[in-house]
Amino acid sequence: MCDQTFVAITFGPCDCCGKASPLMNIYIKSEATNYCSFCVEVMATQGLQAGESAASLKKESDSLKKKLEEERAKLSDIELSQVAEKIEVLAPLSIKTRRVLKGHGNKVLCMDWCKDKRRLVSSSQDGKVIVWDAFTLNKEHGVTLPCTWVLACAYAPSGCAVACGGLDNKCSVFPLSLDKNENLNTKKKSVAMHTNYVSGCTFTSSDMQILTSSGDGTCALWDVESGQLLQSFHGHTADVLSLDLAPSETGNTFVSGGCDRKANVWDMRSGQNIQSFECHESDINCVKYYPSGDAFASASDDATCRFYDLRADREVAVYQKDSIIFGASTVDFSLSGRLLFAGYNDYTINAWDVLKGTRVSALFGHENRVSRVRVSPDGTALCSASWDNTLRIWS
Amino acid sequence: MTINTLARGGWDREQMACFQKMEKVIVAMQDPDMGMKMRNQRLLITVIPHAMTGRDMITWLIQKYCICEEEALHISGMLVRYGYVYPLKEPRSLVLRPDESPYRFQTPYFWTSTRWPASELDYAIYLAKKNIRKQGELMEYEKERYSVLHKRINHTWDFVVMQAREQLRASKQRRKADRIVLECQEQAYWLINRPQPGAHNVLDMGLERPNNLSARVTLVSDIITFLYVSYVPVPFVKYSEQYQNHDPIMQGCLPSNPWISDDTAYTRVLGHLVLLVPAFAAPVDLVERWSFSFMELLNDIMGRREFMIYLEKEFSAENLCFWQACEDIRHGESSRIVEKVEEIYKNFLTPGAARWVNVDSKTMDKTLKGIRHPHRFVMDDAQMHIYFLMKKDSYPRYLKSDLYKNLLAKAIMNCPTCLFVLSACSPS
C-alpha cells in the first residue's frame, strides 16, 4: 500500500468563496466539500451563533474526537515503527566532541550555521553575538546588542549578514563586512518589531525577508530593506517559542511551536493556519522539518520529542524514555532524516532513530542545559550551544 | 521552621513536572521491596543509619532503566545536584562519586519543590543559627549575605534571633546522630537554594514565559471530520534509505570527515563551494543527490548551473530563467517588485518575446490580469506551471543525458576512493 491512498485536494479553489488557497476537506450534512480555512472559520462561527453554546459545542467536539479515534482504531493503521521493523538496527554512533568554542561570557542561547558549512553565528545572554569560523576556532565578528538574552540568531543564505533578536522585542540585521575593524553596530538595521521578546528568527530563501516568532503569540514575515511587515500569523494563544521554514518545492509554509502546546503549520502567503497539532503535554520548545518537508519534529518540556506526518495530519511517533526526566529544548535531523538529535535540560544530547523510535546514542559533555543543536548544512557535524557558555562541534 | 506563606505563583509548570519525575525516582529507590539496600554508615564516631553509597545508586539505576553506566552516573549526579540526595562526607560538594562515598536521601520537608521559593526569613534564621552555634563558622559569602539581610529585614531581626535560639535549643535535646542528620539536610537545602556565588545554580530557569494569553476555546478544527484512510508511513522509510549513504554522521564521508581529520584541503573546497565559482568537478555525493529529486538539483548552485547548460543545448533555457526570475520576485526587496514584474513581462510573457515561455492560456490570462496590479505573488501560478513542466519533462531527460552521466563519471574518478567503497566504508 503506498502513500497515494491519501486522497485530499490540498490546494485549489474553495467551494464557498471561490478563491484559490490551501483547502481543508470537511463534511457538511454528510457531503464532502472543500473549504479554505477562512470559510471554515466563518462557517464554524456562524454555527455557534445559531443558538449553540460553547459548552454544547465542546461536548459535541469531544464526542466527535472520540468517534474519530474509534474509527481510526478500526482501520488499523500501521505504525511507523512497524514499517521500520525490516530495516536494520543502527549501531551506536561513535560521535565525539571535535571542537569546543569558548568565548562567550554567559549562557549561549542560540546558534545557526552558515551555508559555507564552517562558519556559524551564536548569541548569548550577555547581549553578544559572535560569528565564528568553527574549523579554526577563530572569532571573525562580534556585536554587542543593547539588550540581554539574545534568544534568536540566524545566518543569511548568502553568508553576508546575520539577524538577531531577543528581549529588545526587535530583530535586527547586521551586514557582515570584510573589514575586521569596522564596528558592525553602525550598519545595524532594525527590521522586526514585536510587543514581546523575539524567540526565533530565520531568513527565507533570500537575504531580503525574515520570519520571526515572538513571545507576544504571533509570527511575522518582514521585508528587510524597508522593515515593512509583510504578513502576520495569529493563532497561538501563548508565547511562540520556535519556528522552522519548510524545505518544500513551493516553499510556502512554515511550522511554529509555542507555550500553548500547539504546533501550527502556516501558509506564508495568506497568513492562514493550515494545520495544527496538539499532542504535547507541555510547552513546545523547538520545531524542525524533516529534510523532505513532509513531516516535522517537536521538542517539549514534557521530556518527549514527537514526529508528525503532514500529509496524514497526525503524530506518528513519540521519542521518550523513562530515564529521561528533563525537558527537551531543541531538535534537529541529520542529513538523511534517519537520526533526530535532541538537546535536553539535563545537559545531554540524545540521538534517536526516527523510524524505529529508539535511542541510538547519548552525548555527554556539556555542563549546563543544551539550548540549541544544529546539524551542519553538509551533514558532517553537529553543533550544540549550551548554558555553560560554550559551543561544541560533534562528529 | 517558619511556615512559608509566600504564594507558589512564580513556580513554572515545567520545573514542577521535572521535580515530580525526580521525586518518583527517589520514592522508587526507597521502595522496601524493589528499592535500594540501605545500610548504616560510619561518620567519624557516629553511625548514621539509612545511608547508601554512590556505587549502589548507579547499580540500581542501571538495573531499573536498562541504561549504561555513563547515563546512570549522569542521572544520579542530577539527583544530587537538585538536592534529593546529599553526600555525608564533603557535604559542600554536591557531586556524585561512583565509589563507596556515603549518601543519604533528603527528607521531603526539605525538597526544593516543597519549599519554593526559599524565603529570606528562613535563610536569615539559618545563618543566625550557624553564627550562634559556632562563631566564625560562616563562610565569607555567607557573612556578606548575613549582613545584607540584617540591613534589609532589620525590623524582624529580633524574631530571627529568637527563632534561631529556640531551634538550637530544641536540637540540643535530640540524639547526636539525629542532630547531625538534620544539620546536613538543612545545609544541603541551602546549598542549592542559595548557592555560593560563582557556583553552578541548578535553579536558574532562564526567562519566565508569560503564557496562556487567552482562554479561547478553539472549536473550529474540532467540529470538522476529515476524510480518513488507513495510514502506512512508507515515504519516510524510502527517503531515509535513499539518503542514508549520503549522511556523513551515519556513514562517514569521503575522503574524510573534515572535522575529524582536520583536512583543510577538503574544507577549502567545501568552504567556497557557495561563494566562488569552482572549476573543479563536484564531489560524487552532490552529483548523485541531484538524481534524487528535482528540488535537490535546483537547490544546489552547481546543479542549477549544470541544468542550465543542458537546457541551453535543448533550447529551453528560458524556462529556468523564468523560474529564477519569479523566485527573485518572491524573495526579493519589496521596493523592486514592480520593476521586476515589468522585466519578466517584457522578456518572457509578451507574445513574440525573445524568451517566451509556454504557459497554458488559462494561467497566462490570470497572470496578465494580475500584472496590472503587481504584487509579490502575482507570478506564482505561472511559476508553478513552468516548474512542473521542467520537473516532468526536462529533468528526467537531463538525468538520462550524456552531460549528466559524464559529470557523474568524472566525479567518481576524481574521488580518491571508488564509489563502491563508499557504501561499505565505516564511519571514521
pLDDT at B262: 74
Instruction: Using a CB–CB cutoff of 8 Å, tell me whether B240 touches chain A.
Output: yes
A186-201 average pLDDT score: 92
For residue A74, pLDDT over 90 is answered with: no
What is the band of B254 on the pLDDT scale with cuts at 50, 70, 90?
Answer: low
Q: What count of CB pairs under 8 Å joins A to B?
A: 298
Could you tell me how far CA A173 lies from the centroid of its own chain?
A: 21
Rounded mean pLDDT of B262-275?
46
C-alpha cell at A288: 524542525
Would the pLDDT of B168 be above 70?
Answer: yes
Residue A231, all three cell numbers: 504578513
Considering only the beta carbons, identify the residue of A71, A115, A223 that sits closest to B333.
A223
pLDDT at B409: 86
∠ CA A300-A301-A306, nearest 5°, is 25
CA distance B347 to chain A (A): 23
Q: Which three cell numbers stand for residue B22?
A: 525526580
- Is 70 exceeded by the pLDDT of residue A97? yes
User: Is residue A236 within 8 Å of A260, Cβ to Cβ?
Assistant: yes
Measure the CA angle with vertex B247, ends B428 and A293; round to 5°: 160
CB B130 within 8 A of CB B123: no
Q: What is the number of other CB atoms lying within 10 angstroms of the CB of residue B111?
A: 18
The grid cell for A171 is 530583530
pLDDT above 70 covers a percentage of chain B that reads 81
Q: Do A239 and B376 touch (CB under 8 A)?
A: no
For A66, other C-beta atoms within 10 Å of its C-beta total 10
Please give, rounded to a whole number of angstroms, the shortest distance from the CA of B233 to a CA of chain A.
6
Report in angstroms the alpha-carbon separations of A52 from A47, A48, A49, A60, B394: 7, 5, 6, 11, 56
Residue (of A337, A393, A301, A295) closest to A99 by Cα position: A393
Closest by CA position to A206, among listed B310, B363, B336 = B336
pLDDT of residue B263: 63
Confidence of residue A84 (pLDDT cuts 50, 70, 90): confident
Q: Please give, rounded to a whole number of angstroms, the shortest distance from the CA of A267 to a CA of chain B.
A: 13
Question: Is A354 in Cβ contact with B232 (below 8 Å)?
Answer: no
Contact A215, B209 (CB under 8 A): yes
Q: Pick B219's closest partner by Cβ from A57, A205, A294.
A: A57
pLDDT at A245 (0 to 100): 94
Q: Cell triple for residue A165? A: 533578536
Secondary structure of residue A84 in the 3-state scheme: helix
B260/A contact by beta carbon, under 8 A: yes
A309 vs B239: CA distance, rounded Å = 13
Residues of A in contact with B223 (CB under 8 A): 44, 47, 57, 60-61, 64
A202: nearest Cα among A99, A270, A100, A115: A115
* pLDDT value, residue A89: 85
Stretch A70-94: mean pLDDT: 76
Pairing type for strands B39-43 and A108-113 reads unpaired
Sign of CA dihedral A175, A176, A177, A178: negative
pLDDT confidence of residue A113: 95
- State yes or no: pLDDT of B232 exceeds 80: no
Query: Looking at residue A37, what is its pLDDT?
Result: 75
Residues of A in contact with B234 (CB under 8 A): 1-3, 83
* pLDDT number for residue B224: 40
- The model's confidence at residue B10, banded by pLDDT at 50, 70 and 90, is very low
Whole-number Å distance between alpha carbons of A290 and B235: 12
Residue of A nearest to B286 (CA): A378
pLDDT classification of B417: cutoffs 50, 70, 90: low
- What's the pLDDT tens digit per position in B170-207? 988 988 878 888 888 899 999 999 998 888 888 888 88
Higher pLDDT, A346 or B261: A346
Query: Could you say which of A75, A80, A117 has the minimum Cβ distance to residue B228?
Result: A75
Res A152: pLDDT: 95
Q: What is the pLDDT of residue B268?
A: 42
- Asked if B342 reaches chain A (Cβ–Cβ under 8 Å), the answer is no
Among A41, A116, A225, beta carbon nearest to B271: A116
Contact A16, A36 (CB under 8 A): yes
Strand partners, A286: A299
Q: Which residue of A has its CA nearest to B62?
A: A323
Q: Which of B368, B371, B337, B342 is nearest to A230 (CA)?
A: B337
- Cβ-Cβ contacts under 8 Å, B221 against chain A: 276
Alpha carbon distance A333, A351 (integer Å): 9
Interface touch A83/B25, C-beta < 8 Å: no
**Is the pLDDT reported for residue B74 higher than 80?**
yes
Looking at the partner chain, which of A41, A58, A335 has a beta carbon nearest the beta carbon of B248?
A: A335
A239 and B210 in contact by Cβ < 8 A? yes
The answer, for B50 touching chain A at a CB cutoff of 8 Å, is: no
Inter-chain CB proximity A77 and B231 less than 8 Å = yes
Does B223 contact A378 at a Cβ distance shorter than 8 Å?
Answer: no
Does ipTM exceed 0.90? no
- The percentage of residues in chain B with a pLDDT greater than 90, rounded to a whole number, is 23
Confidence tier at A30 by pLDDT (50, 70, 90): low
Q: Residue B45: exposed, middle, or buried by beta-carbon count in 10 A (0-12, 13-18, 19+)?
A: exposed
If you average pLDDT over residues A12-36, what whole number do you get?
74
In this complex, the residue of B22, B61, B217 whose CB is nearest that of residue A58 is B217
Residue A264, all three cell numbers: 501550527
The mean per-residue pLDDT over the stretch B213-230 comes to: 45
Tens digit of each residue's pLDDT (9 = 90 or more) over A367-380: 999 999 999 998 89
Alpha-carbon distance B416 to B425, whole Å? 13
B394 pLDDT band, cuts 50/70/90, is very high
Highest mean pLDDT among A77-81, A116-120, B275-279: A116-120
Inter-chain CB proximity A72 and B244 less than 8 Å: no
> Which chain A residue lies closest to B214 (C-alpha atoms)?
A237
Place of cell 488559462: B362
Taking CB atoms and an 8 Å limit, are A197 and B207 in contact across chains? yes
Provide the grid cell at B209.
514565559
By the 8 A CB rule, do B386 and B322 touch? Answer: yes
Q: Does B312 touch chain A (CB under 8 A)?
A: no
The shortest C-alpha distance from B227 to chain A (Å) reads 7
Distance from CA of B87 to the nearest CA of A (A): 20
pLDDT at residue A364, rounded to an integer: 94
For residue B260, the distance in angstroms to the closest alpha carbon of chain A comes to: 7
Show which of residues 195-234 on chain B sit within 8 Å of chain A, judged by CB atoms: 200, 204, 206-207, 209-234
pLDDT of B217 over the 60 cut: no
The DSSP symbol for B393 reads I
pLDDT, tens only, B130-151: 988 887 788 889 999 999 999 9
Does residue B376 have a pLDDT over 80?
yes
Beta strand A31-36 with A382-386 is unpaired
Q: What is the pTM of this model?
A: 0.83
Q: What is the pLDDT of residues A133-162, one digit of tens each?
A: 998 999 999 999 999 999 999 999 999 999
* DSSP letters for B359-373: --HHHHHHHHHHHTS
Q: What is the DSSP letter of A5?
A: G
Instruction: Provide, as residue numbers in chain A, all residues whose Cβ is less than 8 Å from the Cβ of B200.
Output: 367-368
